[in-house]
Structure 1
Amino acid sequence: MWALKTSQNFSKLSSSAFLRSLHSETTAKGIGIIGVPFDKGAGKVGTNEGPNALRDAGLIDEIRDISVNIDVKDYGDVHYELTKSSGRRINNLRNLEHVAACNKALAEKIEEITNDNRMPIALGGDHSIAVGSITGLRRKMKSDDLCVLWVDAHIDLNTSSSSLTGNMHGMPVSLLVKELRKEWPTIPILEWCQAQMSLKNFCWIGLRSTDYYEKLMMEKYGINYFDMRDIERMGIEKVVQRALEKINLDGKKKLHVSFDIDALDPLYANSTGTPVMGGLTLREGVFLMEQAYNTGTLSSLDLVEVNPLLGNERDVENTVNAAKLIIQAACGSNRTGNL
């Protein structure tokens, strides 16, 4: 799996010293792009147009322009066939059959990309696709070998019984972690995802909109998170450093970043289904992704919830351009220039 290696202890180095210690040893540098044109997990249509909007805006070529050493392969889009669920119907899960089938197909594609020794970048699509991307990654490693930075205005920790909408883009984390397994009924068409990760391997950045049930779970399990107050108080550099210390102190785990574009303030990314004022600036979002890349452990990325059907032409252009900058930072782009 594509990643830079480091065994430095985050807590023993200043941020600048830590970054200078990186990039001493590399493995293969392949990148695999997979589009997930999917909006059945959201309450609004349009995120199915996200992958092509990013491609049409030149994303692939711009990644290739970062360095002559970057090998990028576009694996096309995920396609799936519906499998009807058996047994009793599960209430309050809108489009369950679609969500299950799409994520199962995505997990298989992510596994294929990692087998090709490439870093998977999943272009969403709504945030329910994180179930498939993380499941596909975890098949190649032990449950505790993967950690996740969840960059989002929302914590996405609802279940079928707690969700106010039934939209599954607000539930992916609860489907992935063992602590909440008992909160779910048995769902045969989702059994393949196997909730084996621990909440201790997740950390959230950018939170500013959580439901009552989610807040209870945050308190019950001592969830790692940094909300917008923390960012305002500490600054984005310290927040990212501490977030990584919490989930990957010795730098031995692979890092997955699941980046919801609504983590950014609507001033920078308004073409998304659930925007929340008071979010990250674009500079903070890019810096966060640069720091994730510089750890040498970044192995995969989701970029989700870009919705080209929402907002005016300028909104769409700004949102797509912001998403491209986030992705390029994950691929090693340097704002002072690339060689």
Structure 2
Amino acid sequence: MPFDSAQAIRLAHDTLDIEAAAVLGLKTRLDVAFARAVELILNMRGRVVVMGMGKSGHIGRKVAATLASTGTPAMFVHPAEASHGDLGMIQPHDAVLAISNSGESEELTAILPLVKRLGAPLLAITGGATSTLARHADVLLNSSVEKEACPLNLAPTASTTAQLALGDALAVALLDARGFRAEDFARSHPGGALGRRLLTRVADVMRSGDAVPCVPASANFSTLMQEMTRKGLGAAAVVDAQRGLLGIFTDGDLRRLIETGRDLRALIASEVMHSQPHTVRDDALAAEAAEVMEQHRITVLLVLNADARLIGAVSSNDLMRAKVI
């Protein structure tokens, strides 16, 4: 049969309409049971153990991952494996979140009495309000949908979207109740862009020690240029005997100085430096350093400690290598 592009687009539109309606339909069924589920999880001492078979299992894995990354300890246990030893992963101080559209998945219903016997509270996300899972549940979250997006009304589509949306709603309500902040999220995502922006400090990426180009105020122009060239930062700090910062001289300053036609050999560092350089504290976020550079259109910042002494330097290239920008 030849491909019908118009039909494909129409079905795509229908799918999005059906799944959007399924998610919006959940709002009318959200009641005190949802609040009870959030409170129960908040008060538990263990983890949320998420379970589900088939497509519901795939949704369960994502829900467990979302909970864990937003401050609620969680793990996924496969119901079939639970019957062969993995049930030992569930403890009385845990909470079990079972996901099943029908509420009658054989592998899941077989272990429900055992879960109840353990004493772990059972939360259910199911479209079967009178199902075996619903009857065993301490808290029932109704995820029923009018129809699947599948034209045959068979493949789990709208139903799994509804399950996922309910899982996300739980995670969001829980993170809010816990006072979960962006910094907390970053700590569980240290390898991500947000984690790097919220966790990386200037001290983590700056050049320090002998890698920092600096000269005394009395250094002649030749010494100043040699220090800039040797350290390859495109700038050099001018400091006093206690490494107190007096100024900075940059490649841009050099170009402007050459244009004046002055005899460079007769100059010393204190005569050519810019006396009010932009600086950053070593304990500041690296992202803050990036913002200062962008705001002032510069590529180098000198780093000071709490005593206002020069201890480092950071460039835009350093921040790029650290993937902060």
- Bigger fraction of residues in helix: 2
Higher relative contact order (CA 8 A, sep 6+): 1
TM-score bracket for this pair, using the shorter chain length? under 0.3
TM-score, normalised by the number of residues in structure 2? 0.18
Structure with greater Cα Rg: 2
